[in-house]
Amino acid sequence: MPAPLNLSHCVADSLDSGLALNSPSIQEWPTFQPALRLGVMASGNGSNFEAIQASIAANALHADIRLLVVNNQGCGAEQRAQRLNIPCQLWDHRQFETRERLDHALVKAFLEADVELIVMAGWMRIVTPVLIEAFPNRLLNIHPSLLPSFKGLDAVGQALQASVRISGCTAHLVQADVDTGPVIAQAAVPVLPDDSPESLAKRIQAQEHRILPWAIALAGVKWRQSSGIKGS
């Protein structure tokens, strides 16, 4: 089981300017009454999932994770959910004939959990319009590059191959085309001369842990304002 992370930095007021720069800057966190109802999707280790919960536990992000969905049995995210006592469901994509059938099942699960926003926190599957249209402007993704640069798989490797001096991560709303959609928040990370894929990915992931909860808060404010729901 993955060890608990030291995620106190997730609720920092600002980022260390010597390491990273994020936009928009993390300022006063909005208050949601009632708490923002979240669904989370993860395929792997689940550190971003735990970063979200850490921000909730620290009373920074006013939210409640109603459901975690995983597609790989025994993955780190599932184990973290067990430790954190958060409801988790396994939906193995290999058991579905098409992506659309999987997404229909996910829509049903999230509707039953009564979620407002869904966060793809390391979900390594392409989602279809079935899910996107069921939760329009309510599906958020985190990607390890400064979009629109380096979309798709192995964004860190793409950045190193391109010899860029700055990379980072992006939280954005999901649209039908992969890694597109309105940007909610970004963090820029310098690429060091001796960086390996592992070292750069580690620093980028640290910034993902910082900006993802903040991006959820920003997206939550926009959602409640646009839908006329009071409490943000």
For the stretch 146-178, pLDDT in tens is 999 999 999 999 999 999 999 999 999 999 888
For the stretch 179-205, pLDDT in tens is 889 999 999 999 999 999 999 999 999
Residues of the chain above pLDDT 70, percent: 89
pTM: 0.88
Note if 104 is an active site residue.
Answer: no
Class of domain 33-144+172-187+209-225: alpha beta
Give me the phi and psi of 65, to 5 degrees please.
-80, 110
Query: What average pLDDT does this structure show over 65-86?
Result: 96
Among candidate residues 9, 62, 93, 143, the one labeled active-site is 143
Q: Which residues pair with 156 in a beta bridge?
A: none
Q: CA distances (Å), 107 to each of 136, 195, 211, in order?
A: 12, 40, 26
For the stretch 76-94, pLDDT in tens is 999 999 999 999 999 999 9
The CA-CA-CA angle for residues 191, 196, 199, to 5°, reads 75
Give the mean pLDDT of the chain: 90
In whole angstroms, give the CA distance from residue 123 to residue 111: 19
Say which residue, 29 or 16, is predicted with more confidence. 29
